[in-house]
Amino acid sequence: RALCPLVPSAPAALRALPPPVAVGVLHTTRPLHTTQQSLAPVPPLPEKGGEVRHGLIPEEFFQFLYPKTGVTGPYMLGTGLLLYFLSKEIYVVNHETAAAACILGVIIYGIKKFGADVAAFADKLNEEKLASARAMKSESIETLQKAIEEEKKEQWRAEGRSYLFDAKRNNIAMLLEANYRERLLMVYTEVKKRLDYQVAMQNLKRQKEQDHMIQWVEKSVIQSITPQQQKESIAKCILDLKALSKSAHAAV
């Protein structure tokens, strides 16, 4: 018990644990996390220290003397003791007394004048440290919450995978359909081309036969026109033209 670790302001629970035995660097023999009570977070420091009057004498002394001697008891005790020491020269007045008086005066003046400012400055430093720690904590809490929200959103997104698969299935069906229709169209055009070819062939053949026949008929007709027939037809044409010109003159 007397060899407990020298931790000045540790709570009683820390001191109650068995002392660690260092094996190398790692304290392995002390069991960790076996007690119910958790040691973190450490309880916060008390706000104000013990009450002290005139900066020197704790308040408990005044409270201790209050029932017997009232409010002025400790002051009477102090004055009496001081006068006794001075008169019996248990406390000797020498140059150090003067030095002590001056030093005390300066110290008290300094404390009275600058005490509040220094205290405010120290409090501000403490506040900044605490604020940065709190900011870190809240920041990490925020990032974790954001991560939780993102995770929930991802889970919600994953629920829509059936729609995704339906859309994909639709796409594939459309591709297959389009492919099928393309091939159908190709078959149709090929067949039509072949049929058109046959039709064109037949038309060509008939046309050639017609042309040939017409040419042959014309040639034979022209051959059959004898010169006498030619003269007769020319004379007829001239007579017709004269008649026409007469009728034309008459009209004009």
Which residues in this chain contact another protein in the complex, by CB under 8 A?
Answer: 1-2, 6, 8-9, 44-50, 52, 55-56, 58, 87-89, 91-94, 100, 111, 115, 119, 123, 126
β-pair partners for 53 = 57
Hey, how many other C-beta atoms are within 10 angstroms of the C-beta on 123?
10
By C-beta, is 123 or 182 nearer to another protein?
A: 123
CA-to-CA distance for 17 and 10, rounded, in angstroms? 12
Tell me which amino acid residue 77 is: L
DSSP annotation of 30 reads: S
**H/E element, 52:** strand 52-53
Q: How far apart are CB 87 and another protein at their closest, in Å?
A: 7
By C-beta, is 89 or 154 nearer to another protein?
A: 89
Q: How far apart are CB 26 and another protein at their closest, in Å?
A: 27
By C-beta, is 24 or 43 nearer to another protein?
A: 43
Is-contact 49 41, C-beta < 8 A? no
Angle in degrees, CA 78, 80, 84, rounded to 5: 120
Q: How far apart are CB 11 and another protein at their closest, in Å?
A: 10
By C-beta, is 82 or 100 nearer to another protein?
A: 100
Q: How far apart are CB 107 and another protein at their closest, in Å?
A: 9
